[in-house]
A = this chain, B = another copy of it.
Amino acid sequence: MPPFPGRTIHFAKFNVTSQVKSTFLFAPLPRLTSCHVNIKPLLPGHILVCPLQVKPRLVDLTRDEVSDLFNTVARIQRTLTRVYKTDAFNVAVQDGEAAGQSVPHVHCHVIPRQHGDPGSDDKVHEWLEGEEGDVGKAQKEAGQGEEKSDAVRKHDEWMKDEERKPRTKEEMDQDARWLREEMAKDDEGSGKL
Q: Name A's B-contacting residues (CB within 8 A).
A: 58-59, 61, 63, 66-67, 69-71, 73-74, 77-78, 81, 86-101, 111, 113-115, 117, 120-122, 125-126, 128-129
Copies of this protein in the assembly total 2
Q: Is B95 touching A88 in the complex (CB atoms < 8 A)?
A: yes
Q: Point out the residues of chain B lying under 8 angstroms from A71, CB to CB.
A: 63, 66-67
Q: Once bound together, how far apart are the Cα atoms of A88 and B57, in whole Å?
A: 9
Q: Once bound together, how far apart are the Cα atoms of A99 and B80, in whole Å?
A: 14
User: Which of B63, B74, B100 contacts A66, CB < 8 Å?
Assistant: B74
Q: Point out the residues of chain B lying under 8 angstroms from A69, CB to CB.
A: 70
Q: Which residue of B lies closest to A95 (CB)?
A: B89
Question: Counting chain B CB atoms within 10 Å of each CB, which of A90, A101, A113, A114 scores highest?
Answer: A90
A59 in contact with B88 given A66-B67, A117-B98, A121-B129 (CB within 8 Å): no
User: Which of B66, B99, B115, B126 contacts A88, CB < 8 Å?
Assistant: B99
Q: Once bound together, how far apart are the Cα atoms of A86 and B97, in whole Å?
A: 11
Q: Point out the residues of chain B lying under 8 angstroms from A97, CB to CB.
A: 87-88, 115
> Could you jot down 25 A-B contacts, CB within 8 Å?
A58-B70, A58-B73, A58-B91, A59-B77, A59-B81, A63-B67, A63-B71, A66-B71, A66-B74, A67-B67, A86-B98, A87-B96, A87-B99, A88-B99, A88-B101, A90-B95, A92-B93, A92-B125, A96-B113, A97-B115, A98-B113, A98-B115, A99-B111, A121-B126, A122-B129
